[in-house]
């Protein structure tokens, strides 16, 4: 977006920005109009690197087109026309000239136009690629855009529609489909007619916002009615801090802020001083948020008195019951990964360090498993899992502790990527060996920091070992690893080795920090008399035997083609390979569902609330339609619930689906065996009806069934057993 001679010119990227934060974009416009000082965007090395890699991806695609069509010669048909951007991209005359060059290349019959300039005086776009096709009625043009992402996003589709709209306005015949050239090499195609209604709405909204700004004489007010704000962008955050907005309260959402504002509460200080209920915020959530705000104000007072001290209070002692008994074989695990690493420009992400600390001989011992390319990543994964399996043989009761879900989810991704280690990982997940401390922290504690990252917790337990390093967070680690590779490529091996050691030191510290947090949490549990989580039941012998039979069947099929390259296989070997792949495919799809389901039993609701087919229930709006009773010849009791709440985007929950109704502790009768401090569920429930409500929420009627022979929960406190806060249903 820029302003020239009083005219505001928008771009396709402004559509994306408006979707993310209308208020922030309008505040930037105010700065361009000279009404306020611009708020500088924070430095983000990862974003800079992603942008540079995006340019490489775009250039690679251009080279492919040039190799296929050759360069375009003005005045002649065919080839790839490369349109140079004007030096001054705010010069109306230069932009109009660049658009004319674009149109001339299209009239000549160029096969591809790169960086097509599209400018109508109020909108400017530089389309990555326009590709010509002939359908018998003449030339038609399709819009292609390169995106480093591995899946299509709505904002990217809006950009495609914006370019198509400009071409339509110029009288250019358009193809029915627009395309994204994604970072993994796949082509994502979409019907323009499917995108256009959303684009029309978003474009009209953007123009409405701009017109309102131009009609005003002053800057947009913080909290302007009807203007959406994400509360997190640089522009918003400057206002949050300056006005002591309630968004300063850690883990308070924009939705909750709106509820507080409706009650006349706009600052953190007013919130702490408030009492009583707030409409739209449940009592338990409100209590947690008030305690969070109080602790933050206490920390502010300590800062003013001359020293910052992290404060913590236990809010739910029962949550400590999720912690197992310590074992001599326990492992403390942390990954280091670069999401933007690629060796082929198609497959992204490298876990370059698997770091663990164990206690062999009573001493802390750090074990790094390094990987600097895809094959080494596979070897590191196998070595790590074999190390864990061997250690479990010596210490059957060990657990692997980590902080937040990255380690679990990325182990799953790596096993799927490389096709190895899945049996070992199955055992770890089935036997509940992985222990994520993050859910325990969120449930049991409130601290005086906005963030609950491991770094923010460390002053509580690290003491004299509190970290002091050039590498202090995950982003620093990635930057250091990128620098390491650059030093290695430059032949500066000694400096590269030093850089790698800094990364190892950071990873070792994170593992030590996880150990320190585990011990600190156990000490708090001991102070409160909370018992340890009992050993959990292992997977059924039947399931384990079935997995082993499938493993043997797969291995027997693969053995028939050992060491035979794919392009040299006989028809019989090819058939065997396909059969082996089918076994793994269906097992992997099934495992993926159950791995995520088991994670929902322990992870914070907000960590999975937006997963497909998840409904987070509003307890105040939900009810029991039919209480526990035994119907007909059924062998167990059942009841019918009407659950009202937010259904995750992309869900397809419908009548006839099976569902799990998940409960916070204490779960009702009939829930499966779950460890203390975790969630239970009634599995195999039936979805009876799904309907959308006028306020945007969804009502789902579910019949749930108690265990065989159970007599339901007749006579139990209904509000705790049926629709208590934090419950969810997913099909």
- Give me the mean pLDDT over the 445-451 stretch: 93
pLDDT score of 603: 66
Helix (H) or strand (E) holding 95: helix 92-108
Q: How confident is the model at residue 671 (pLDDT cuts 50, 70, 90)?
A: low
Q: What is the mean pLDDT of residues 621-638?
A: 83
Given this model, what pLDDT does residue 604 score?
Answer: 64
**417: which residues sit within 8 A by CB, 6+ positions away?**
none
Chain mean pLDDT for the chain: 86
Distance of CA 132 to the CA centre of its chain: 37
Determine the straight-line distance between the first and last CA of the chain, rounded to whole angstroms: 44
CA distances from 635 to 326, 631, 722 (A): 41, 9, 21
State pLDDT tens for residues 498-511.
999 999 999 999 99
CA distance 353 to 344: 20
Three-state helix/strand/coil letters over 232-285: CCHHHHHHHHHHCEHHHCCCCCHHHHHHHHHCCCCEHHHHHHCCCCECCECHHH
Q: What is the pLDDT of residue 715?
A: 30
Percent of the chain with pLDDT over 90: 59
Closest CA to 162 of 112, 206, 212, 131: 206
> What's the confidence (pLDDT) of residue 508?
95
Point out the least confidently predicted range of 141-150, 217-226, 247-256, 716-725: 716-725
Q: Where does the pLDDT of residue 422 fall: very low under 50, low under 70, confident under 90, or very high at 90 and above?
A: confident
DSSP 361: G
What is the model's pLDDT at position 556?
A: 62
Block residue for tokens 């705790």: 720
In angstroms, the CA 405 to CA 398 distance is 19
Q: What is the pLDDT of residue 561?
A: 59
Q: Can you tell me the mean pLDDT for 414-421? A: 89
The predicted pLDDT at position 283 comes to 86
**Average pLDDT of 225-247?**
95
Report, as an integer, the average pLDDT of 428-447: 90
pLDDT score, position 721: 27
**What is the Cα 145 distance to its own chain's centre?**
23
pTM recorded for the entire structure: 0.81
Q: Is the pLDDT of residue 653 over 90?
A: no
Average pLDDT (302-313) is 82
Q: Identify the residue with better confidence: 699 or 674.
A: 699
* pLDDT bracket for residue 465 (50, 70, 90): confident
* pLDDT, average across residues 244-271: 94
pLDDT, one tens digit per residue, over 532-560 is 887 755 554 445 444 555 566 655 655 65
> Is residue 581 very low, low, confident or very high in pLDDT (cuts 50, 70, 90)?
low
d(CA 375, CA 258): 50
* Percent of the chain at pLDDT exceeding 70: 85
Spatial separation of the C-alpha atoms in residues 29 and 206, rounded to whole Å = 12
pLDDT recorded at residue 612: 80
Kindly tell me the number of DSSP H helices and DSSP E strands found in the chain.
20, 22
Check residues 228 and 558 and name the one with the higher pLDDT: 228
pLDDT at 81 over 90: yes
Q: Dump pLDDT digits (tens) for 164-179.
A: 999 999 999 999 999 9
Burial (CB < 10 A; 0-12, 13-18, 19+), residue 351, is: buried
Least confident of 77-81, 165-169, 286-290, 305-309: 305-309
């Amino acid at each position: 977006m820029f302003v020239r001679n009083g005219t505001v010119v928008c771009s396709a990227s402004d559509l994306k920005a408006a979707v993310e934060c209308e208020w922030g974009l309008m505040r930037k416009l105010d700065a361009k109009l000279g009404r306020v000082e611009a708020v500088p965007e924070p430095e983000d090395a990862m974003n800079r690197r992603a942008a540079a890699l995006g340019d490489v991806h775009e250039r690679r695609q251009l080279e492919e087109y040039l190799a296929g069509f050759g360069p375009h010669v003005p005045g002649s048909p065919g080839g790839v026309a490369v349109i140079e951007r004007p030096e001054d991209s705010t010069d109306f005359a230069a932009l109009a000239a660049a658009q004319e060059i674009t149109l001339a290349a299209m009239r000549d019959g160029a096969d591809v136009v790169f960086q097509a300039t599209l400018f109508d005086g109020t909108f400017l776009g530089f389309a990555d690629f326009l590709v010509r096709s002939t359908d018998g009625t003449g030339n038609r043009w399709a819009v292609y855009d390169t995106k480093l992402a591995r899946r299509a996003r709505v904002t990217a589709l809006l950009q495609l529609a914006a370019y198509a709209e400009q071409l339509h306005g110029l009288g250019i015949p358009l193809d029915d489909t627009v395309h994204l050239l994604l970072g993994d090499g796949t082509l994502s195609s979409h019907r323009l007619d499917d995108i256009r209604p959303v684009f029309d709405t978003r474009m009209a909204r953007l123009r409405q916002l701009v017109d309102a700004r131009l009609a005003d004489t002053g800057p947009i007010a913080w909290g302007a009615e009807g203007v959406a704000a994400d509360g997190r962008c640089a522009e918003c955050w400057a206002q949050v801090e300056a006005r002591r907005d309630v968004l300063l309260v850690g883990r308070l959402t924009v939705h909750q802020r709106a509820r507080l504002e409706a009650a006349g509460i706009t600052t953190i200080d007013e919130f702490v001083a408030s009492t009583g209920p707030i409409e739209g915020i449940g009592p338990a959530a409100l209590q947690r948020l008030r305690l969070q705000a109080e602790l933050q104000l206490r920390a502010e007072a300590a800062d003013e008195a001359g020293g910052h001290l992290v404060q913590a209070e236990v809010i739910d002692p029962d949550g400590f019951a999720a912690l197992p008994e310590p074992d001599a074989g326990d492992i403390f695990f942390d990954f280091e990964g670069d999401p933007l690493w690629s060796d082929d420009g198609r497959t992204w992400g490298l876990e370059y360090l698997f770091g663990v600390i164990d206690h062999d001989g009573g001493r802390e011992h750090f074990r790094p498993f390094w990987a600097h390319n895809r094959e080494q990543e596979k070897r590191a994964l196998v070595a790590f899992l074999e190390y864990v399996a061997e250690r479990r043989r010596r210490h059957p009761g060990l657990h692997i502790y980590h902080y937040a879900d990255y380690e679990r989810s990325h182990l799953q991704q790596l096993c799927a990527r490389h096709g190895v280690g899945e049996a070992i990982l199955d055992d770890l997940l089935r036997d509940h060996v992985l222990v994520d401390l993050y859910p325990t922290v969120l449930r049991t504690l409130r601290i005086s920091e906005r963030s609950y990252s491991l770094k923010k917790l460390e002053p509580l337990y690290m003491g004299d070992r509190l970290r002091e390093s050039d590498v202090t967070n995950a982003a620093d680690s990635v930057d250091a690893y990128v620098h390491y590779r650059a030093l290695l490529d430059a032949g500066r091996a000694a400096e590269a080795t030093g850089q790698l050691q800094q990364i190892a030191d950071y990873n070792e510290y994170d593992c030590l920090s996880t150990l320190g947090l585990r011990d600190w949490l156990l000490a708090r549990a001991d102070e409160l008399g909370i018992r340890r989580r009992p050993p959990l039941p292992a997977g059924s012998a039947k399931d384990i035997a079935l997995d082993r039979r499938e493993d043997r069947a797969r291995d027997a099929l693969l053995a028939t083609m050992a060491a035979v390259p794919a392009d040299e296989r006989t028809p019989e070997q090819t058939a065997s390979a396909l059969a082996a792949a089918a076994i793994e495919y269906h097992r992997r799809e099934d495992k993926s569902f159950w791995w995520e389901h088991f994670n929902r039993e322990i992870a914070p609701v907000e960590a999975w609330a937006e997963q497909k087919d998840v409904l987070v229930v509003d307890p105040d709006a939900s009810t029991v339609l039919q209480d526990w009773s035994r119907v007909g010849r059924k062998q167990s009791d059942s009841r019918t619930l009407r659950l009202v709440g937010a259904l995750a985007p992309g869900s397809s929950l419908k009548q006839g689906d099976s569902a799990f109704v998940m409960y916070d502790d204490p779960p009702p009768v009939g829930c499966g065996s779950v460890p203390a401090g975790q969630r239970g569920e009634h599995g195999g429930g039936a979805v009876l009806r799904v309907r959308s409500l006028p306020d945007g929420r969804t009502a789902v009627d579910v019949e749930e069934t108690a265990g065989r022979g159970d007599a339901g929960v007749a006579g139990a406190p209904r509000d705790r057993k049926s629709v208590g806060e934090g419950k969810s249903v997913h099909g």
